[in-house]
Amino acid sequence: MKLGMASASMTLAWSLLSSTAGRSASAFSIVSQKNVGLQRSSNVKRIASIGTRMFATATEEEVAAEEDIMDAADSSIYTRDAESLSKLKSPFLTTLRDRGFLHQCSNLLDLDEKLMKNSGKNEGEALAAYLGFDATADSLHVGSLLQIMILRHLQKSGHRPIVLIGGGTSKVGDPTGKDESRVLLTDEVILQNTQGISKVFEKFLNFAGKQEDASDASDAIMVNNNDWLSQLSYLDFLREYGTQFTINRMMSFESVKQRLNREAPFSFLEFNYMILQAYDFLELHRRYGATLQLGGSDQWGNMISGVDLGRRCDGAKLYALTAPLLTTSDGKKMGKTEGGAIWLNEDRLSSFDYWQFWRNTNDDDTIKFLKLFTELPLEEIEKMEDWKGADINKAKIVLADEATSMLHGKECLKTIHETVETMFKGGGAKGKVESTEGLPRIYVTQDELSPEGVRFPDLFLKLGLATSKKDARRLIQGGGARLEGEKITDENASLTIDDFEGGEKQEVTLRAGKKRAGVVELQ
């Protein structure tokens, strides 16, 4: 029996646990306090007792030890401890500290010592650290870039990055931060997504030609947790590793508490995700010597479980380090805009639109983003901190150039700058775009254009210049839509073969406002 096949008895046990707990959010009120331990209501004690019997044969001493581990994890928020931060010596951690990547770390100074001892180019000397990415879409977006930059800094410090693709855990779905259960993905979709997200890492990390050829101590490797998770026997896994987890501890995780506080369903399938993530750390330590897991601050509980599992099963000394969840100065989640996600794959978002995203950074975020998403020396960035007005716009162009060249290469910058020059600085009659290289592009045939053509709202939507047809119609009604520099006034109008001069022209340009444009090319 494979891991993905939940038995009826376990489902019944989970149902019993849920019904015993009731639907009162207060029943799950668990507050972690430093040097005090977990404060529970009587209901939580009763639930924890059931959970302990169901998932583990834990003694009171073992439960107390778990609480000590959780308190130790809570006390490891070293970003608030100036004294500990000032003692850092390793190039990797000092870089993360100085550029704003550090949020939490277990045993920070101990990890710093280990990094100092293991920083070198000889085989076996480098420390191996991993970061996991579930295959929930066929491209990563800018929200994942903070984590990728940490891997890049790790490698530049002489250590080995391990990119873990969650081909196995994607079949379960990470409940962290979700108001409801994720839609389950098919194996075919997960495979397609895995192939899509794998492309971007080669832009930021140096991989050996083949994984087995990773002779340099800092060569990156990429692995898929489906390779080991799909081979597990459900009963064997429960017997060997289920004893290492107790329900009372898992109930304390924020991802669980938030869902239960909202009285939202939390499936047994999702409940297993945190166990699988912890097991991944153990497996990566055994296979590749990984001793450090990297991630976002919302993953802290799951990551500490992996640290603890390694200690319990193998006596391994493992570490967890998180970066802050990044939001813009106006409170928006990084990676999402009104126009949709800022994808990293070029087949999902053009290099021009990617550049534009960074160019449109809020003034208050510019310096922070220069530190996080470029490799400019800090001394150079600090000189820009007092820039205002037109000067801060120059800093934004530096940010856009550096971030775009890292992902798409420096070659695209010349074309992007030429396009910007003609679009935004008065080039071309009536705002017509003279250079279309680097702009998002779609294709139409003469058959599609005849006899009625393709309506403009559909074209703006396909080009990513509008988030919906309704949004496109509002754009036209507001006078912000143009075809070849001429204002489009009728929201029901269509692009026809006549707009291509009967087929003589190969492409036309659509504009949405002053800063966005796209190309429709005739095939």
What is the secondary structure of 53-82 as a DSSP string? HHH----HHHHHHHHHHHHHHHTT-GGG-H
List pLDDT tens digits, range 151-206: 999 999 999 999 999 998 898 876 555 545 557 788 899 999 999 999 899 999 99
Amino acid letter, 323: A
Tell how many helices (H) and how many strands (E) occur in the chain. Answer: 23, 17
Is pTM beyond 0.85 here?
Answer: no
CATH number for the region 8-323 comes to 3.40.50.620
Buried b or exposed e, range 134-162, using 16+ CB within 10 angstroms: bbbbbbbbbbbbbbbbbbbbbbbbbbbbb
CB neighbour class for 202 (10 Å; exposed up to 12, middle 13-18, buried from 19) = exposed
In the predicted structure, residue 391 carries a pLDDT above the cut 50:
yes
Mean pLDDT across 477-483? 90
Tokens 């026809």, residue located: 496
Position 330 confidence tier, pLDDT thresholds 50, 70, 90: confident
pLDDT at position 73 is 45
CB of 443 closer than 8 Å to CB of 523? yes
Question: Measured between alpha carbons, how far is residue 83 from residues 51, 79, 109, 167 in Å?
Answer: 40, 10, 11, 41
Mean pLDDT across 325-336? 80
**Average model confidence (pLDDT) across the chain:** 79
Within 13 Å, how many C-alpha atoms sit on residue 402's CB side?
18
Question: Measured between alpha carbons, how far is residue 148 from residues 374, 407, 457 in Å?
Answer: 12, 11, 36
Give CATH superfamily name and number for 350-428: Tyrosyl-Transfer RNA Synthetase (1.10.240.10)
335: left (phi over 0), alpha (psi -120 to 50) or beta: left
List pLDDT tens digits, range 440-450: 788 888 888 87
List pLDDT tens digits, range 72-119: 444 444 445 678 888 999 999 999 999 999 999 999 999 999 999 876
User: Which residues, at least 6 apart from 260, have a Cβ–Cβ distance to it below 8 Å?
Assistant: 21, 25, 28, 266
User: Which residues, at least 6 apart from 401, have a Cβ–Cβ distance to it below 8 Å?
Assistant: 355, 413
Rounded distance between C-alpha atoms, residue 151 and residue 136, angstroms = 20
pLDDT at position 89 is 94
Given the DSSP bridges, would you call strands 290-296 and 454-455 parallel, antiparallel or unpaired? unpaired
Length of the chain: 523
Q: Which helix (H) or strand (E) holds 39?
A: strand 37-39
In the predicted structure, residue 130 carries a pLDDT above the cut 60:
yes
Share of the chain above pLDDT 90, in %: 40
More confident residue, 52 or 504: 504
Say if 8-323 and 350-428 have the same CATH topology: no
User: Per the omega criterion (within 30 degrees of 0), is the bond before 451 cis?
Assistant: yes
The pair of three-digit structure tokens given for residue 278, joined into one six-digit string: 């912890």
Amino acid letter, 265: P
What are the two backbone dihedrals, phi and then psi, of residue 495, each rounded to the nearest 5 degrees? Answer: -85, 125
Given the DSSP bridges, would you call strands 104-105 and 128-134 parallel, antiparallel or unpaired? unpaired
Which residue ranges make up each domain of the chain?
8-323, 350-428, 441-522
SS3 of residue 487 by DSSP:
strand
Least confident of 76-85, 411-420, 427-436: 427-436
User: Which residues, at least 6 apart from 110, have a Cβ–Cβ distance to it below 8 Å?
Assistant: 317, 319
Mean pLDDT across 295-315? 92
More confident residue, 174 or 301: 301
E strands present in 79-188: 104-105, 128-134, 160-166
Q: Which helix (H) or strand (E) holds 397?
A: helix 390-408
Buried b or exposed e, range 355-390, using 16+ CB within 10 angstroms: bbbbbebeeebbbbbbbbbbeeeeeebeebeebeee
Buried b or exposed e, range 494-503, using 16+ CB within 10 angstroms: bbebebbeee
The pair of three-digit structure tokens given for residue 451, joined into one six-digit string: 């006899």
In the predicted structure, residue 70 carries a pLDDT above the cut 50:
no
70: left (phi over 0), alpha (psi -120 to 50) or beta: alpha
CB neighbour class for 411 (10 Å; exposed up to 12, middle 13-18, buried from 19) = exposed
Q: What is the CA radius of gyration of the chain?
A: 26
If you ran DSSP here, which 8-state letter would residue 242 be given?
A: G
Which of 79-83, 129-133, 134-138, 492-496 holds the top average pLDDT?
Answer: 129-133
Domain 441-522 part of CATH 3.30.420.40 = no
* C-alpha 143, offset from chain centre: 5
CB of 111 closer than 8 Å to CB of 93? yes
